[in-house]
Structure 1
Amino acid sequence: MRSLWAPWRMEYILSDKTGGCIFCEKIDEDRDRENLILFRGRDHFIIMNAYPYNNGHLMVVPRRHTSTLAGWSAEERAEFFELADLAVAVLKRAMNPDGFNIGINMGECAGAGIADHIHLHVVPRWSGDCNFMPVFADTRVIPEHIQATYEKLLTELKGVLG
């Protein structure tokens, strides 16, 4: 039997859980590399998913704690989707995916892991990236360490932004 290695998960498993909103906590800290924050916009930020579906799984998150899109200004809506477009551009340069899944899970019953703070997922996809592991073992194989992916994406982000 082979072992799968995901060393970044143990840190989370053993850490003290504050019970607060992880997105609000991370954006208020000045530890972007450690918190996997790639970009800070005026109203939103781009962060890597610490428990990714695929390598390079990013999220666009509003700074404001909200569970809905209702009541957003035109500027907030525009930046939200501008950052989704930026995330796609960076992932294309860094990882050359064949396509993307982009979406919002609004509400716990819709699959939102953090239902109180809405966020948009940007998941790079490659032809043939679905294999037997999720089906038979309820396991995903992420072949690159998350910090290595962060560094790669940060380098390409600087290239996209000029």
Structure 2
Amino acid sequence: MDRLWAPWRLAYVAAPKPPSSATDEDCFICRAIASSNRAEERAHWLVHRSSHSVVILNRFPYNNGHLLICPQQHKGTLDLLSDSELLDLQHLLCRFMAIIQKRMRPDGYNIGLNLGRAAGAGVPGHLHWHLVPRWHGDTNFMPVLADTRVLVQSLDALYDLLVEELGASPTTGGHSLAGVQSADNR
């Protein structure tokens, strides 16, 4: 790979950036968290709430089963998370990997955290982990030739599968993980 050195660009890259004008009201994650009943949660694809975090279906998934694991508080960097929030987020990530493994049987996972717009964060003010199940052969010619992803499951079907596995009651906002084993308990 060739390298083109352009040190004069450092002034642009290192220059102070204007503060983001995004607010909690502009954030689709915060709107989902503000849901007050199960119907609103479903409309926002909010699958689960824990003490500090939520799990939301990705509306524009890279692959079947693509989930977002998000803190309930609108925080954009890891250093703003409390130890409790960080631990809760990681527990949810593990729990939902176990659920997806049990119900969807992927061959692997991509797990990512995009911090800042330059890193690909669509919502730079509200950090979130992407949990993306992967299967051998899940990438074919369609994305390359037609810039199109083929998803084999609707968001409604995925939502129902996850809620069924969680044992959630449609009449309550709280969701139980009772009966779901984590990967290290199997």
Normalising by the residue count of structure 1, what TM-score does the alignment of the two structures yield?
A: 0.84
Is structure 2 residue 137 aligned with structure 1 residue 124?
no
The CA RMSD measured in Å over matched residues stands at 1.7
Q: Is the 8 A contact 1:93 1:156 kept in 2?
A: no
1:154 equivalenced with 2:178 (yes/no): no
Displacement of 1:109: 1.2
Please list, as runs of the form range in 1=range in 2, the aligned pairs for 1:1-162 lying within 5 A after superposition.
20-30=26-36, 31-158=40-167, 161-162=178-179
| Deviation of the 1:71 alpha carbon | 2.9
The structural deviation recorded for 1:67 is 0.9
Structure 2, unaligned stretches of length 5 or more? 1-24, 168-175, 180-186
Query: Which amino acid in structure 2 is aligned with residue 39 of structure 1?
Result: H
Q: Secondary structure at the match of 1:161?
A: coil
Identical columns (%): 42
Cα distance per residue 1:39-87 (max 9 Å; x no partner): 1011111111011111110010011111101132211111010010011
Q: Which ranges of 4 or more aligned residues in structure 1 deviate by more than 6 Å?
A: none
SS of the residue 1:70 aligns to: helix
Name stretches of at least 5 consecutive residues in structure 1 with no aligned partner. 1-18
Alignment partners' CA distance in 1, 2:148 and 2:124: 23
Number of aligned residue pairs: 145
Between structure 1 and structure 2, the one with the greater Rg is: 2
Q: Please, what TM-score do these two structures have when normalized by structure 2?
A: 0.73
CA shift for structure 1 position 143: 1.6
Is the Cα–Cα contact under 8 Å of residues 68 and 131 in structure 2 kept in the other structure?
Answer: yes
* C-alpha contact (below 8 Å) 1:66/1:116 kept by paired residues: yes
For the residues of structure 1 that align with 2:132 and 2:66, how far apart are their CA atoms? 5
Q: Which structure is richer in relative contact order (CA contacts within 8 A, separation 6 or more)? A: 1
Give 1:160 shift.
5.2
